[in-house]
């Protein structure tokens, strides 16, 4: 096991205790904020001043673990532990990268390029050491990593994904890559059917928090006006873990203002009942202060993400180790570019 993993195993009980202590925060849903009076029933009174802090201050809490000396000790301790308990997510200095051929970069965003440049090299090293020539890529998506391993490294790759949209996109992408290579002895044999550093992007965070506020007030409107949800299309409206209906992401135009958002949401949910514009605007104005409260809660809730993910990753690594596999936990990309950057490496002993 890596030193990184060994250190985390020693603190696994501390990770569990921390997550359990703040389960009231991880269990928070913006959809229930007004319905359950979360601010007054769950959120600590001496932390409520955060609703008056600037967005930049809230973002610095998540991205940098930054605190003000005058803040309550309990809040400073929470931020300190949430920042330091999780895994080190920065790559080691000896992690190797490859230069991708332009042909295989088709369709890749910078995040994906950063992930593939290191992961492909790591897999190649394992394959060379163990004499592996065939690779099965489960959850291959559109085949970004598979195409690099096949076209650039020469492996026989079978890419598998359960999402038909990913499958279709992967097939089209593979054809384009194949056409670009003048010599293509290497081939992908088929694509079968099968979120803290970003808090430095202030405009994106501001928009996300605004949408959380919109969804919270919408739920209040639905409940107070006994709106009947009739949509049977589970691609449009799905049940959340707390039994309420969750709406998939609406487009930017629909979220221009409370009225356009509410109309789009009701249509998405298949609601025959309509709400007067005046009622919608009045309700949103009445709960205007809620937006800053949700921002404060969501800021702290976000900080639990790395702690929870660290516990899950560690648990899976320990399980594989206990079952007599070699296991390592590696940061494969800069977390500023790719927040979900951890890879569990498992090989037979």
Report how far residue 305's alpha carbon sits from residue 259's, in angstroms, rounded to the nearest whole number: 33
- Residue 102 pLDDT: 86
Least confident of 191-195, 211-215, 229-233: 191-195
| High-pLDDT (> 70) share of the chain, % | 83
Lowest mean pLDDT among 126-135, 162-171, 219-228, 281-290: 162-171
Whole-number Å distance between alpha carbons of 320 and 63: 32
**Residue 235: is its pLDDT beyond 60?**
no
pLDDT of residue 306: 87
Report the pLDDT value the prediction gives residue 237, as an integer from 0 to 100: 39
Closest CA to 290 of 28, 27, 34, 35: 34
pLDDT for 172 equals 75
HSE-CB of 306 using CA atoms within 13 angstroms: 24
CB 268 within 8 A of CB 254: no
* Of 20, 47, 74, residue with least CA distance to 307: 20
Q: Please check whether residue 321 is in contact with residue 327, taking contact to mean a CB–CB distance below 8 angstroms.
A: yes
Spatial contact of 186 and 197, defined as CB atoms under 8 Å apart: no
Average pLDDT, the chain: 83
Mean pLDDT is lowest, of 6-20, 50-64, 82-96, 115-129, for: 6-20
**pLDDT value at 23 more than 80:** yes
Q: State residue 14's pLDDT score.
A: 87
- Chain position carrying tokens 């928009």: 207
| Per-residue model confidence as pLDDT tens digits over 253-279 | 888 999 999 999 998 888 888 899 999
Q: Tokens 């609703």 belong to which residue?
A: 51
pLDDT of residue 115: 92
Q: Is the pLDDT of residue 192 over 50?
A: no
CA atoms within 13 Å, Cβ hemisphere of 27 = 11
pTM of this prediction? 0.76
* 185, pLDDT greater than 50: no
Residue 77's pLDDT is what? Answer: 97
Site of tokens 């991880």: 26
Q: What is the pLDDT of residue 66?
A: 94
Residue with the larger pLDDT of the pair 87 and 76: 76
> Which residue in this structure is represented by tokens 């369709």?
107
What is the CA 266 to chain-centroid distance, rounded? 27
From 121-135, 156-170, 192-206, 244-258, the region with the lowest mean pLDDT: 192-206
CB 39 within 8 A of CB 28: no
Better-scored residue on pLDDT, 239 or 67:
67
User: Mind listing the pLDDT tens digit for each residue in 291-307?
Assistant: 999 999 999 999 998 88
More confident residue, 116 or 273: 116
Query: What's the confidence (pLDDT) of residue 9?
Result: 62
User: What would the pLDDT profile of 322-331 be if each residue is shown by its tens digit?
Assistant: 899 998 889 9
Residue 12 CB-density burial (10 A; 0-12 exposed, 13-18 middle, 19+ buried) = middle
pLDDT at 227 over 90: no
**Residue range 205-225, pLDDT digits in tens:** 899 899 999 999 999 998 899
Report d(CA 266, CA 278) in Å as an integer: 16
Per-residue model confidence as pLDDT tens digits over 78-110: 999 999 988 888 899 999 999 998 888 888 899
Who wins on pLDDT, 53 or 101? Answer: 53
Instruction: Determine phi and psi for 138, rounding to 5 degrees.
Output: -85, 140
What is the secondary structure of 39-96 as a DSSP string?
HHHTS-GGGGGGGGS-HHHHHHHHHH----TTS-HHHHHHHHHHHHSS---SPPTT--
Q: Which residue has the tokens 């206990």?
A: 322
Query: What is the pLDDT at residue 236?
Result: 39
Query: Alpha carbon 246 to chain centroid distance?
Result: 17
Of residues 85 and 248, the one with the higher pLDDT is: 85
Question: Is 65 a residue whose pLDDT tops 50?
Answer: yes
Q: What single-letter DSSP state applies at residue 100?
A: P
For the chain, the straight-line distance linking the first and the last C-alpha, in angstroms and rounded, comes to: 12
Question: Which residues in the chain belong to E strands, given as ranges?
Answer: 134-138, 156-161, 188-193, 237-239, 245-247, 325-331, 342-348
Question: Which residues make Cβ contacts (< 8 Å) with residue 13, sequence separation at least 6?
Answer: none
Q: What pLDDT does residue 6 have? A: 56
């Amino acid at each position: 096991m890596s030193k990184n993993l060994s250190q985390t195993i020693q603190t696994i009980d501390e990770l569990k205790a921390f997550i359990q202590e703040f389960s009231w925060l991880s269990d928070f849903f913006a959809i229930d904020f007004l319905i359950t009076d979360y601010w007054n029933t769950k959120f600590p009174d001496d932390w409520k001043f955060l609703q008056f802090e600037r967005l930049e201050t809230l973002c610095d809490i998540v991205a940098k673990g930054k605190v003000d000396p005058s803040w309550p000790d309990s809040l400073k301790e929470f931020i300190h532990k949430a920042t330091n308990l999780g895994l080190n997510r920065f790559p080691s200095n000896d992690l190797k990268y490859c230069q991708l051929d332009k042909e295989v970069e088709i369709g890749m965003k910078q995040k994906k390029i950063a992930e593939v440049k290191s992961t492909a090299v790591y897999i190649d090293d394992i394959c060379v050491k163990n004499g592996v020539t065939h690779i099965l890529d489960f959850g291959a998506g559109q085949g970004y990593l598979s195409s690099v391993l096949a076209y650039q490294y020469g492996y026989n790759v079978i890419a598998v994904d359960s999402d038909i949209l990913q499958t279709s996109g992967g097939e089209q992408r593979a054809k384009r890559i194949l056409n670009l290579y003048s010599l293509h002895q290497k081939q992908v044999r088929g694509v079968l059917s099968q979120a803290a550093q970003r808090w430095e992007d202030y405009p994106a965070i501001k928009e996300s928090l605004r949408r959380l506020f919109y969804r919270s007030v919408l739920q209040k409107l639905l409940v107070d006006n006994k709106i009947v949800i009739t949509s049977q299309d589970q691609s449009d409206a799905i049940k959340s873990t707390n039994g309420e209906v969750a709406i998939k992401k609406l487009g930017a135009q629909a979220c221009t203002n409370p009225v356009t958002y509410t109309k789009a949401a009701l249509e998405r949910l298949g609601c025959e009942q309509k709400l007067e514009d005046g009622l919608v605007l009045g309700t949103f104005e009445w709960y205007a202060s809620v937006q800053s409260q949700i921002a404060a809660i969501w800021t702290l809730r976000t900080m639990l993400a790395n702690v929870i993910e660290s516990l899950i990753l560690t648990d899976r690594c320990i399980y594989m180790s206990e079952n007599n596999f070699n296991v390592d936990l590696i940061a494969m990309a800069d977390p500023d570019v790719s927040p979900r950057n951890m890879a569990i490496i498992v090989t037979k002993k």
